[in-house]
A and B are shown apart, each in its own frame.
Chain A
Amino acid sequence: KNQVEQSPQSLIILEGKNCTLQCNYTVSPFSNLRWYKQDTGRGPVSLTIMTFSENTKSNGRYTATLDADTKQSSLHITASQLSDSASYICVVSASWQNFVFGPGTRLSVLP
């Protein structure tokens, strides 16, 4: 069964600290993996996308890694800001019309 799991379910950190969010998947075949940021009451916004051959992808203070062998991905946030408070969703695509969404990690950044 195609599944995407994310951990932790929720996370609270202080402003300026770093954090790492985890994503494990069993989706097969694998096409690509995306990380989305979803602010409360808004639609998800793409942060990074990685294909099978890519190990890391950065977007500003966000860095995603992918280990296709172990089927794991992580999203590292550096020097967190209050505006980083959101849900972060890992999405694995088996094909260009077949997407499996993880449940998300709820991040709260406190001053």
Chain B
Amino acid sequence: GAGVSQSPSNKVTEKGKDVELRCDPISGHTALYWYRQSLGQGLEFLIYFQGNSAPDKSGLPSDRFSAERTGGSVSTLTIQRTQQEDSAVYLCASSHPSAEQFFGPGTRLTVL
């Protein structure tokens, strides 16, 4: 079956622009996670969605970052007024509750 997909695979933007990153989780997975991986660094938790519960936004680094999950499926991570330090690979993962996470291929964001 299809795994987690993310789009775009690469995104180059200018400083100050807004970007939207999309994640399509595995069908039936109620949990969805967003992570950020900077070059040579470990994964950094950003936000977690579980079913219809309020999302855990504790990892979002600033109010320029936000995420939505529509209909309990597709999720969009939005970064407003991008900065150069936002350059990283943004990974999405989905799972059944308390089960193994399956990761997407990531979106490589470059802010010039």
Contact = CB atoms under 8 A, between A and B. Distances in A.
A104 B42 contact: yes
Contact of B103 (A41, A43, A96, A97): A43
Interface size of B as a range: 20 to 34
Contacts, number: 42
B97 A96 contact: yes
Contacts of B56: 97
A49 interface: yes
A102 B40 CA distance: 11
B105 A41 contact: yes
A30 interface: no
A44 B103 contact: yes
Contacts of B100: 34, 46, 49
A43 B91 contact: yes
Interface string A91-111: 000001101011110000000
Interface in B1-21: 4
A101 B42 contact: yes
Given A43-B106, A46-B100, A101 B43 contact: yes
Contacts of A96: 97-98
A14 interface: no
B41 A43 contact: no
Contacts of A89: 42-43
A43 B97 CA distance: 20
Contact of A102 (B33, B42, B103): B42
Interface of B: 4, 31, 33, 35, 40-45, 48, 50, 56, 91, 93, 97-98, 100-106
Interface of A: 4, 34, 41-46, 49, 89, 96-97, 99, 101-104
